[in-house]
Amino acid sequence: MKCDLAQEMIAMAVYGELPDEKTPELEQHMAGCDGCREELEAVRALAKAMSLLPVEEPSANLIARSRLRLEEAIDALPRGSWLLRGWRRFIQGFSRLRSAPVAVSAVLVAGLTAGGYSGFQAGEHAHSASASTAVVQSAAPSDDSVIDVAGIDSIAREPNSGNVEVVYNRIQPETIRGSLDDPRIRQLLLAAAQNRVNSGVRDSSLRVLADECRAGHQCDDGPVRNALMVALRYDKSPAVRMKALEGLQPYVADDVNVRDAVLEALMKDSDPRVRTQAIGLLEPVEADSSVREVLHTVSVRDDSPEIRTATRQVLDQMPQVQ
């Protein structure tokens, strides 16, 4: 056996990683090789040197401190479920739209049409959308050559002829009119609010939802409020975030999730106008201790002097909680 191989094996043996069947070879080589015995000494010397820096157990103090700090950090994260659910739906909506690329292009920028939604659906349930069959001559192209295709279901060659049968799905753009009280309209608006690709559609739907919520239409259930809260947290446009705040205003007093979302906006939103608007929304819950805590933090740490002053004023106006 060559020495460089033996030296590798020595290193492996030292770390307990030499396969057992290699042991006899190595022992035999070591018996007759001075160079490799020196190598072993060198390896041992290195190990002894490394033992000057032994692995120490973390002290009980360090463990306790770390655990406590972690607890506090996790407690401080935004509350799980509504945010995660909203975010997941957001992402899923995006990936569904991606699977029906032609459908996306059919969504009109101005106003909301059911075309977007059926395209949405076509991507998701390709088989349940209306299917047409057409016989296509393989030699000559058909006359009605422009077809709005959402997806091809199947292609089959007819035996003994030049014919091919193609089963495909079409997009049918449709329009629907109604108020937010109509569940179909609500469903479409919620779907549009998640439209990651077309921000015009998303903005319009969020504005409509926010206005309707303020007017008291059908926002008592979760999904519309959640859509507004997700927009408040994640939308890139400050105007949309401010609109979402408007829509959530009637619910700050009664819904703890809404209150927390507004508090988070006050602490973390990058736009001072949004943060200022958030302060205004907190009026009905000013006396809450968690609200006071956030106001206090903001009064000290916010970048904008106006906001610091505004929060301090709110705090001063409240009677001290005993």
Partner 1 sequence: MSVDSLRIYPPSSANFPSSPKAKIKSSSGMAIDPSVRATEADLIREAQQGSRTAFDALVRQYDQAVLRLALHLTGSEQDAEDIHQEAFLKAYRYIGNFRFECSFYTWIYRIVTNLCLDLLRRRKSRREDQAVTFDSSGEEIDLLTNVSDQRASSNPDRELNRKYLGERIRQALDKLTPRERMVFELKHFQGLKLRTIGEILNTTEETAKNTLFRATRKLRANLAELR
Residues that bind partner 1 (CB under 8 A): 8, 10-18, 23, 26-27, 30-31, 40, 42-53, 55-59, 62-63, 65-67, 69-70, 73-74, 77, 80-81, 84
Token representation of residue 81:
């479920």
Nearest to partner 1 of 68, 155 (CB atom) = 68
Distance CA 123, CA 211 (A): 30
Nearest to partner 1 of 65, 196 (CB atom) = 65
Task: Give me the least distance between CB of 48 and partner 1, in Å please.
Answer: 5
Nearest to partner 1 of 52, 110 (CB atom) = 52
The dihedrals phi and psi of 120, each to the nearest 5 degrees, come to: -50, -50
Task: Give me the least distance between CB of 95 and partner 1, in Å please.
Answer: 15
Nearest to partner 1 of 24, 305 (CB atom) = 24
Distance CA 180, CA 161 (A): 54
Residue 163 and residue 95 in contact, taking contact as beta carbons nearer than 8 Å: no
Distance CA 86, CA 92 (A): 10
Task: Give me the least distance between CB of 20 and partner 1, in Å please.
Answer: 9
Task: Give me the least distance between CB of 78 and partner 1, in Å please.
Answer: 11
Residue 233 and residue 223 in contact, taking contact as beta carbons nearer than 8 Å: no
Residue 64 and residue 71 in contact, taking contact as beta carbons nearer than 8 Å: no
Q: For the chain, how many residues are written?
A: 322
Task: Give me the least distance between CB of 302 and partner 1, in Å please.
Answer: 24
Nearest to partner 1 of 74, 321 (CB atom) = 74
Task: Give me the least distance between CB of 87 and partner 1, in Å please.
Answer: 11
Taken in order 251, 220, 195, 205, is the CA torsion positive or negative?
A: negative
DSSP letters, 220-281, are -SHHHHHHHHHHHHH-S-HHHHHHHHHHHGGGTTT-HHHHHHHHHHHHH-S-HHHHHHHHHH
Residue 202 and residue 237 in contact, taking contact as beta carbons nearer than 8 Å: no
Task: Give me the least distance between CB of 23 and partner 1, in Å please.
Answer: 4
Nearest to partner 1 of 40, 166 (CB atom) = 40
Nearest to partner 1 of 23, 132 (CB atom) = 23
